[in-house]
Every structure is written in structure tokens, then in C-alpha cells.
Amino acid sequence: MSESAVQAAVAVAAEHGLHSDDPIVLRDAWHVLVHLRPLPLVARVSSGRPHPEGPHEDDVIRELSVASHAARAGAAVVPPSDLLDPGPHRHGGHVVAFWQYVRPRREVEPIAAGEALRGIHEALADYEGELPALHTGDLVGITDRLEPSADVELLRELGSRQPVGPAQALHGDAHLANCLPGPLWHDFETACRGPREFDLAALALSARVREDDASRIALEAYGDHDADLLEECLPVYAAWIYASFTVALPRRPELEPLLAERLRWLRETYV
């Protein structure tokens, strides 16, 4: 747990007259997610882990901008907090953004999630903020820091492909783990610009390699899309995901057998 990230979240809230005497870390991964109990307030705080092993702190800012735009249009996203200026704020070397707390409850309903993702795409169609093109730059940065190997070259080649289609602002990592019951989509820190089918590739990948029925149902519920373009986007998205797995191996060696299996699937399917 990043103790300094929790301290930053509590301190910034206090500066705005909101006091938490029982903060709890909901997640400590790419970012530190802190529920500032007893307030209905969640802080997303940039991790102390340096890039590229951890995220760039600007991801917190990007997420707030994109999700706020979608929320203003009435899309099904976790909204920024209305208890204080949601940010971004800087404190103690961290970037802090504030969101409404959503109480966990039942499982995500996949049909509603797929329909909601289409609504988010419609809401983001006029988003004009600066966003990276797909995850190409991020993937190149990751693979540049990895020991050269046939697997790394595979990921670089697949992840650098440029599917051609109408581009707009996207969620960037639209698998169902990034959707809460409601449904409410969240975790827009890897928002990017590209064809809508790039977001659908996250659902398609889960449906294929994990045989996840919920993801398949969500994809079907999304409705009309370009199936050929989705097929072009899928290895590009998958290469970015598996490059991230590769970076995480020193901290999470248990991923190694799964990663080897996924890389084998990529090579057999798309090379």
C-alpha cells in the first residue's frame, strides 16, 4: 500500500473541509484507490511506482477529463465527486482526483454493460481533448525497456499495427472488470483515440481466450460494429495487455505460465 498516497488523499480532502478518519485502500495497483470513509468519496491517487513499471501520473488527469465529459452527457460512468472540486490536485508528489463512491453490490449485467458502452462512445464522439492514438506509444515505451526476445518482438509488431477506421475518444481498456453494477463504467486512465472496435476488442479477447460468456453477451448487446475492423484491433489490444503482463512479471511471477499460453495463442492466431 502506498501510505503517502493515502495521506495525500486525506490531506487534500481536509483542505476542502471534508474529513476522513477511517480511510481504506480499495485497490493498490496502477493507481491507489482510497475510500475516504465515512464520506461517500473515493480518491484516485497516482502511484509511487515509477513509469513504466507503474502508470504515468498524467493518467489520473486524463481519466478525470474523459469521464467527466461522458458524465456530463449522461453516459453510464462513475461520476466525479460533487462534494468538492474533483481535481486534479497535487499533494506530496501525488496527483489526486475525487469520485463518487459507489457501493459494491450484485454482478454486472452484461447486456446492460454492452449497451452502456455504446452510450459512452456516443457521449465521447465530440470529445476534443488530446489523447494518444491507441496504445502505440505506451507499448513502444514498454518494449524498449524489456530484454530483447522473440516474444518482445512479437508484441511490438502486433501492437504497432494501425487499424484503419473512424477514430474518436475511447475508454481504452473496456473489459467487464472495469464496469460496476448499474452499470457504471470506470477506469478511464488509459483512454485513447481510435476506432470504437478497439474498445470492443477488450470484450472479444475475454470471450475468446477466457471463454467468458458475459463478455460475449456484452459484445453482442453493443450492437452494430465492423467485425473485420474488430478482428484487426484485437491483436493490437492484446499485445498491449500482454506487454503489461511482461513488465509485471518481476512483481507477479505467478503470471508467467498464463503469459506463455497467451503469447502462444497470439503467435498461432495472428502471425
Instruction: Answer yes or no: do 174 and 234 share one domain.
Output: yes
Instruction: For residue 29, give the nearest of 63, 2, 64, 67 by alpha carbon.
Output: 2
Instruction: Answer yes or no: do 78 and 116 share one domain.
Output: no
Instruction: Answer yes or no: do 127 and 75 share one domain.
Output: no
Q: Helices then strands (H, E): number in the chain?
A: 9, 9
Q: Is the pLDDT of residue 1 over 50?
A: no
**226 assigned to some structural domain:** yes
Instruction: Answer yes or no: do 71 and 130 share one domain.
Output: no
Q: Give residue-wise pLDDT tens across range 3-15.
A: 888 899 999 999 9
Set of cell numbers at residue 85: 472540486
Q: What mean pLDDT is predicted for residues 114-133?
A: 97
For residue 89, what is the domain's CATH number? 3.30.200.20
Instruction: Answer yes or no: do 144 and 44 share one domain.
Output: no
Instruction: Answer yes or no: do 22 and 74 share one domain.
Output: yes
**214 assigned to some structural domain:** yes
Q: Is the pLDDT of residue 239 over 60?
A: yes
Instruction: Answer yes or no: do 171 and 264 share one domain.
Output: yes
Backbone angles phi, psi at 187, to 5 degrees: 60, 65
Domain count, the chain: 2
C-alpha 107/C-alpha 110 separation (Å) is 9
Instruction: Answer yes or no: do 50 and 162 share one domain.
Output: no
C-alpha distances (whole Å) from 124 to each of 62, 156, 192 are 13, 28, 11
For residue 120, what is the domain's CATH number? 3.90.1200.10
- Residue 242 has what pLDDT? 96
**73 assigned to some structural domain:** yes
* Residue 189 φ/ψ region, left for φ over 0, alpha for ψ in the -120 to 50 degree band, beta for the rest: alpha
Instruction: Answer yes or no: do 261 and 137 share one domain.
Output: yes
Range of the domain at 57: 3-100
Instruction: Answer yes or no: do 197 and 125 share one domain.
Output: yes
Which residue blocks in 145-226 are alpha helix, DSSP H? 150-159, 196-209, 213-222
SS3 of residue 179 by DSSP: strand
Which residue blocks in the chain are alpha helix, DSSP H? 3-15, 58-72, 110-124, 136-144, 150-159, 196-209, 213-222, 227-248, 256-270
Q: Is the pLDDT of residue 104 over 80?
A: no
Q: Tell me the pTM.
A: 0.89
**105 assigned to some structural domain:** no
Backbone angles phi, psi at 88, to 5 degrees: -80, 145
Q: 95 with 45: CB under 8 angstroms?
A: yes
Set of cell numbers at residue 110: 452484461
**65 assigned to some structural domain:** yes
Q: What mean pLDDT is predicted for residues 208-215?
A: 95
Band (pLDDT 50/70/90 cuts) for residue 57 is low
**36 assigned to some structural domain:** yes
Q: Give residue-wise pLDDT tens across range 184-202.
A: 999 898 999 999 999 999 9
